[in-house]
Chains A and B, each alone.
Chain A
Amino acid sequence: MTPSEIGIRRLLQVSSALVIAGLLLEIVSLVWFHPLSFVLFAFVAVSLIGLGILVYLLSLIFVVTPITNHRNSK
Chain B
Amino acid sequence: MIGILICQIALSIVLAAVFLIRPSLTSAAGWKIVAFIGLSVLPALCIVGGLNTHVQRSEQTQFCISCHVMIPYGQSLYVDDPSHIPAQHFQNHRVPPDMACYSCHADYSIYGPLEDKMQGLKRIYMQYVSTPPNPITIPGGFKNAQCLHCHLGARSFEENPVHAAMIDSLKSNQTSCLTSGCHDTAHDVANLDHRKFWKPAQ
Query: Measuring CB to CB, which residues of chain A are less than 8 angstroms from any residue of chain B?
Result: 8-10, 12-13, 15-17, 19-20, 22-24, 26-27, 29-30, 33-39, 41-42, 45-46, 49-50, 52-53, 56-57, 60
State whether B19 touches A13 (Cβ < 8 A): yes
The reply to whether the CB of B66 lies closer than 8 angstroms to some CB of chain A is yes
State whether B5 touches A30 (Cβ < 8 A): yes
**Neighbouring B residues of A24 by C-beta, 8 Å:** 13
State whether B40 touches A56 (Cβ < 8 A): yes
Interface 1/0 per residue, B28-66 and A, CB below 8 Å: 000000011001100110110011011001100011001
**Neighbouring A residues of B2 by C-beta, 8 Å:** 30
Chain B: interface residue total (CB-CB under 8 A): 35
State whether B67 touches A35 (Cβ < 8 A): yes
A19-B43, A20-B17, A53-B40 given as contacts; is B124 within 8 A of A36 (CB)? yes
State whether B43 touches A53 (Cβ < 8 A): yes
State whether A26 touches B9 (Cβ < 8 A): yes
Least CB distance, A52 to chain B, in whole angstroms: 7
State whether B24 touches A29 (Cβ < 8 A): no
A26-B46, A35-B124, A36-B124 given as contacts; is B9 within 8 A of A15 (CB)? no
State whether A41 touches B23 (Cβ < 8 A): no
Interface 1/0 per residue, B16-29 and A, CB below 8 Å: 11011001101000
A-B contact pairs, 13 of them (CB 8 A): A13-B19, A16-B16, A20-B17, A20-B20, A23-B16, A33-B63, A39-B124, A41-B51, A41-B54, A42-B54, A50-B47, A52-B16, A57-B40
A17-B20, A19-B43 given as contacts; is B50 within 8 A of A39 (CB)? no
CA distance A60 to B36 in the complex (A): 9
A13-B20, A16-B19 given as contacts; is B39 within 8 A of A29 (CB)? no
Interface 1/0 per residue, B58-85 and A, CB below 8 Å: 1000110011000000000000000000
A13-B23, A29-B50 given as contacts; is B43 within 8 A of A49 (CB)? yes
Least CB distance, A41 to chain B, in whole angstroms: 6
**Neighbouring A residues of B23 by C-beta, 8 Å:** 8-10, 12-13, 16
State whether B13 touches A20 (Cβ < 8 A): yes
CA distance A17 to B26 in the complex (A): 16
